[in-house]
Amino acid sequence: MEDRRKHDRDLPSLIIITGLSGSGMSSATDAFEDLGYFCVDNLPLTMVSTFGRLMVRSGERPPAIEKAVLVINIRERQFLADFSTELKKLSKRKLTPFIVFFEASDEVLQRRFSETRRPHPADDGKGLATAIRNEKRALTDVRRMADLIVDTSEHTVHTLRRMIVQKFSGRNDGVGMQVELVSFGHKYGNPRGVDLMFDVRHLPNPYFDKELKHLPGDDPRVIAFLEKEPEVEETITRINDLLKYLLPLYQREGKSYLTIGIGCTGGRHRSVMTTNETKKRLTEAGYDVVAMHRDIDK
């Protein structure tokens, strides 16, 4: 535990993201937000020192913001002229920002701007290729100040996020992924935002037992009814085996949340029991799991 706390203290509290337009700064900011950083995009350079006050302890009072990411790029007019001056102002407040410079090859940047159809901020009418070269030349001195240079030419959004999370989370495995299990009834429609879905309408239905019909799927009598059926255990086992294979792959791709739907006809019996048992088994496997039953009271 002491080593972990030391690692946390070694992580930068103030990070400045800068670099070439189209190099992935916005995607990087999303990853830092997931790590709990207070992120400000396109902050005017003259406001950096003022923002720094929020990160300085005042007497016995902790700082208003403990860790932050500021994104500053060439769209800020005074950027090139005043960048080093503003860093010195931060230094006087005993704040030493960790500067991350993002870049990519000319070919990749051209492709990204062509795909998004957004104008390059340095385009003066001489074409995209010239704008990219001019910006790269203009940022040469800023690049030299960087503590970390990230070339995103070969990165996808997912691999870039994974790299940032692993480097700045203070954990070897990055941040954990939360799994949300949702039981539902197909007769009421599929839940929104589901990443994976399982249909358990093939299982024996307690609805046709008059003593169980009006009981929910978390009632011990309904659970006992389902547990005595071999196909119920086999279905739950197969679902969990698949999830234990898939979840590490989703986590590797940098997914923070994964929503899994488990449906039966009415969402009251079979899907509820299956969801609860799946939550139990995934929790025992070390995953952060929450469960909700959308249609259990219908």
DSSP 194-220: -SEEEE-TTS--GGGSTTTTTS-TTSH
Q: Are residues 9 and 153 both part of a single domain?
A: yes
Residue 124 placed within a domain = yes
Distance of alpha carbon 156 from alpha carbon 237, whole angstroms: 34
Q: Are residues 235 and 135 both part of a single domain?
A: no
Q: Are residues 211 and 122 both part of a single domain?
A: no
Share of the chain above pLDDT 70, in %: 92
Q: Are residues 191 and 285 both part of a single domain?
A: yes
Indicate the residue among 118, 134, 168 that finishes a domain.
Answer: 168
Q: Are residues 184 and 164 both part of a single domain?
A: no
Q: Are residues 189 and 67 both part of a single domain?
A: no
Confidence of residue 3 (pLDDT cuts 50, 70, 90): very low
Asked whether the predicted pLDDT for residue 164 surpasses 90, the reply is no
Distance of alpha carbon 22 from alpha carbon 124, whole angstroms: 17
Indicate the residue among 168, 186, 208 that finishes a domain.
Answer: 168
Q: Are residues 152 and 208 both part of a single domain?
A: no
Distance of alpha carbon 138 from alpha carbon 20, whole angstroms: 10
* Surface-to-core class of residue 269, CB atoms within 10 Å of its CB (0-12 exposed, 13-18 middle, 19+ buried): buried
pLDDT tens digits, residue range 204-243?
999 999 999 999 999 999 999 999 999 999 999 999 999 9
pLDDT tens digits, residue range 49-88?
888 888 887 766 788 898 999 998 877 656 667 788 888 8
Residue 173 placed within a domain = no
Residue 143 placed within a domain = yes
Listed residue (153, 179, 172, 150) closest to 250, CA to CA: 179
Distance of alpha carbon 266 from alpha carbon 295, whole angstroms: 7
Distance of alpha carbon 60 from alpha carbon 25, whole angstroms: 35
Residue 210 placed within a domain = yes
Residue 31 placed within a domain = yes
Residue 95 placed within a domain = yes
Q: Are residues 156 and 24 both part of a single domain?
A: yes
Task: State which residues form the domain around 140.
Answer: 2-168
Residue 59 placed within a domain = yes
CATH assignment at residue 123: 3.40.50.300
Average pLDDT over residues 87-109: 89
Report how many domains make up the chain.
2
Q: Are residues 139 and 159 both part of a single domain?
A: yes
Distance of alpha carbon 137 from alpha carbon 147, whole angstroms: 19
Q: Are residues 82 and 210 both part of a single domain?
A: no
pLDDT for the residue 6: 36
Q: Are residues 191 and 219 both part of a single domain?
A: yes
This prediction's pTM? 0.61
Indicate the residue among 123, 146, 168 that finishes a domain.
Answer: 168
Residue 298 placed within a domain = no
Q: Are residues 146 and 204 both part of a single domain?
A: no
Listed residue (260, 245, 235, 240) closest to 178, CA to CA: 260
